[in-house]
Amino acid sequence: MTAFPTRFDKLENLRYLNLSEAGFTGQIPIEISRLTRLVTLDLSIDTLFRTPLKLEKPNLKTLVQNLTKLRILYLYGVNISAMGNEWCQALSPLTELQVLSINNLSGLIPQFFTKFPNLTCLSLSSVNFSGPIPSFSSSINLRDLILALNQLNGTIHSTDWSGLSKLEIIGLENNKLSGTIPPTLFGIPSLRTLSLSHNQFNGSIGDFHGKASSLINTLDLGNNMLQGQFPMFVFELHGLTSLNLSSNNFSGLIPVSAFQNLRNLSALGLSYNRWSIDATTINISSLSLPTLAELDLASCNLTEFPDLARLNLSQNFLVGFERPLKNITSSVEILDLHGNQLQGEIPILSNAAYLDYSNNNFNSVLPAQIGDSLQYAFFFSLSNNNIQGSIPESICNSKYLEVLDLSNNSLSGPIPQCLFQMNRSLGVLNLRRNNLSGIISDTSSKSCQLQTLNLNQNRLEGKVPNSLVNCKMVKLLDIGNNHINDSFPSHLKNIATLQQIQRTWDAMQPNPDKNQSELQHLQCEDLRSGVKYQDAITITIKEASFENNAELCGPPLKTKCGLSPAKEDSPSDSETGTYLGDCLQSASFFSISNNNIHGSTLRHCDVLDLSNNSEWANSSMPLSDERAFWSTD
């Protein structure tokens, strides 16, 4: 990454300048403003991987005021120091402008685009615009209109879409647009891509038989509130490559045989509606869709499906693999079958990167060589089944595994030591609610990448591993409800990302330890309505979670703060009465409740769960600094 060179003004005859993703940083040099013959200027940058460029001195007006021949201007990812609609005025001299891509703005979309009659491409995605979409009826030369990832609201009826006959791409996804979808959108003769997903459009999709553009290849209406029957006109769009109608309120039957007309279809999303797949007129396993690579049919009533590379059939009524799922092949890379009724042997696909078999009825054992068959997997979940036996050592041969979730099963035996040595990949290890025994391996190295370690409700014993301090990224550490016999693990103070420690028991003791009191970075989270971690671990708060804690008060408990009668030598109300909602501010936690942990306590922690640890039974500790102590047991 280097600063811009400053001698661009020597290239006085330059007409085309493309510096996109060139690795430059900092302020865009003023010398570019002197290249008066420029027709194309591209300074765009992907801010996901790079620091945004600056346009301050010179600002946008200074940069372009003399570049009157510009037809193409890409400034996506550039931080523009322009207030309100100053950027509109700055662009006014560019009367020949045809393509404009810009972001990092805010406010309403102005009507100034009428000043650019030659505009063919307008890309204003991720700009943070709000308010309604203005009329583009006068922009008759527009080919691409991309306003995605903003906060736009209202309807889209202000534009006479039928007059924009040259439009090829309409991208309005990820906004807050509402109302019905104008029928004229589908009839634009040159339209190829229509993306309206993740909005609040409602109503039904009309019958556009013989009226929709035959050039449409991408139709994305997912994640709205559309209703009615399946729009049958899509079967006339023979050039369709991607169709997404997922997460709406559509209902009725879908005639699967009609998909044979869509010979170019490669991605199909129909999940989470209220319809069923009608396969009574055809054997679905012989359905010929040679290019189909991605299929999303979650929450449909399926029993069979064709060969695929990506497959989501979660939350259906599938029972077994022998007949209904016989077409799963080793070519499948992503397979999501969670929330069915599958049973029998566990299918392990050698080329799969993502396998989710959670919430089924599997009751077999893990294959001895399971890790050798998961060479490319980064996600593997069998949670909420009834898997028996032990965890094979071979699981550690899956060298790319990032998430391993075997929680809520009947696994027994020790936890393979090598799981704590998968340092470069494993970020989530969830073995909660099994019958695992033995000790927790003390072999985590300094390259540990664990963010979640959940071993709650097993039969583990021994001590809290000292080497866990090497897991610098851990946010959730739960080894509660085991047979751990140890003093409090004060060495974990060095884990800066550990923000929440949980502790409740019948009585709390004073005598704070200096090392433990250094854990001042711990925080808490308002979990009254529950919180879901990225790895799908859910903490549910209910009144029973806080029982046996006389010091706690406020919602969700029935006890009101400040109403307890004063006792001799008791702490002040501010110490004994702590509002949970005022304290709970963070999402990560540490739990070692229901073990045999002993030793002094943490004085500065916000949330701590050490409940039912017998060594504290005859001591007490006042709360201070309005900290809340609670349990999720």
Predicted TM-score (pTM) of the model is 0.56
pLDDT higher than threshold 90 for residue 554: no
612: in domain: no
* Within-domain flag for 368: yes
- Over residues 491-539, the pLDDT tens digits come to 666 666 655 443 322 222 233 343 333 333 333 332 222 333 344 333 3
Residue 440 lies in a domain: yes
Closest CA to 552 of 478, 611, 609, 626: 626
Range of the domain at 367: 335-506
Q: Is residue 412 part of a domain?
A: yes
**Sequence-distant (≥ 6) Cβ neighbours of residue 10 within 8 angstroms:** none
For the stretch 186-222, pLDDT in tens is 999 999 999 999 999 999 988 787 788 889 999 999 9
What's the domain count of the chain? 1
Task: Output the CA–CA distances (angstroms, integers) from residue 67 to 30, 63, 368, 431, in the order listed.
Answer: 12, 8, 68, 62
Q: CATH number of the domain that 369 lies in?
A: 3.80.10.10
C-alpha to C-alpha distance for 468 and 450, rounded to whole angstroms: 9
Burial of 12 (0-12, 13-18, 19+ CB in 10 A): exposed
In a domain, 193, yes or no: no
Q: Which amino acid is at 486?
A: D
- pLDDT, tens digit (0-9, with 9 covering 90-100), for 251-290: 888 877 777 788 888 888 888 888 877 656 555 555 555 4
Count Cβ atoms within 10 A of the Cβ of residue 562 and give its class: 0-12 exposed, 13-18 middle, 19 or more buried. exposed
Let me know if 157 is exposed, middle or buried by CB neighbors in 10 A (0-12, 13-18, 19+). middle
Q: pLDDT band for 224, please (50, 70, 90 cuts).
A: very high
Q: What is the DSSP letter of 87?
A: H
| Beta partners for residue 553, in sequence order | 579
The per-residue pLDDT for range 34-73, each reduced to its tens digit, is 999 999 999 988 766 667 788 888 889 999 999 999 999 9
Spatial CA neighbour of 297 closest among 314, 274, 309: 314
In a domain, 384, yes or no: yes
Structure confidence by residue, pLDDT tens digits, 605-627: 334 444 555 444 443 433 333 33
Preceding omega of 465 cis (within 30 degrees of 0): no
pLDDT category at 5 given cuts 50, 70, 90 is: confident
pLDDT score at 517: 32
3-state secondary structure of 60: helix
Record the tokens describing residue 565, joined without a space: 């009668």
Q: Is residue 27 part of a domain?
A: no
Mean pLDDT for 109-116 is 78
Is 49 part of a structural domain of the chain?
no
Give kind and range of the element (H or E) at residue 575: helix 573-576
Neighbour tally for 35: CB within 10 Å: 21
The DSSP 8-state label assigned to residue 501 in this structure reads: B
pLDDT of residue 302: 57
Report the half-sphere exposure of 488 (CA within 13 A, side-chain side).
30
- Which pLDDT band holds residue 446 (cuts at 50, 70, 90)? confident
